[in-house]
Structure 1
């Protein structure tokens, strides 16, 4: 005799598993007209230059805003290999032993 009760199920319903998605209607086929010959290399280059200029302008605006707000800048060299080596040699100074063969 099974005494475990299945809460949330009606008579004759099957229990759903853990990660199931709800049923969805079939996706309608969307057709987008593509004409690759419409864009020339010059147009693509011009669009990329405009994007680069826009990104540069936004970066400059963010930088000037941060300077005005007085946000301390991070040390740009904090994660370089040279600074890591310098820090390591400060913590563990090299020890030299003379060895001469005469």
Structure 2
């Protein structure tokens, strides 16, 4: 069941990112939107987020890091509207509280 929730949350996040990118593209151009490019942007964004979280996990809050788990936690709190799913929001908050 937990794995199904994780898959659903990831699907919701991917869908949300795609929607934001497509809406931004429609505002900036009248030409057709390249869906393959949208998917690549989503993939790159997810990889970026994963890399940040992995870096934070491996650095153990070292002083050389340009950000800390506390910084990320506060960013999530202040920008909760950016998290498309409440379950995902609370899951992120709980995870960050345990770092």
TM over 0.5: no
Q: Whose radius of gyration is greater, 1 or 2?
A: 1
Q: Structure 2-normalised TM-score?
A: 0.32
Q: Structure 1-normalised TM-score?
A: 0.31
Higher relative contact order (CA 8 A, sep 6+): 2
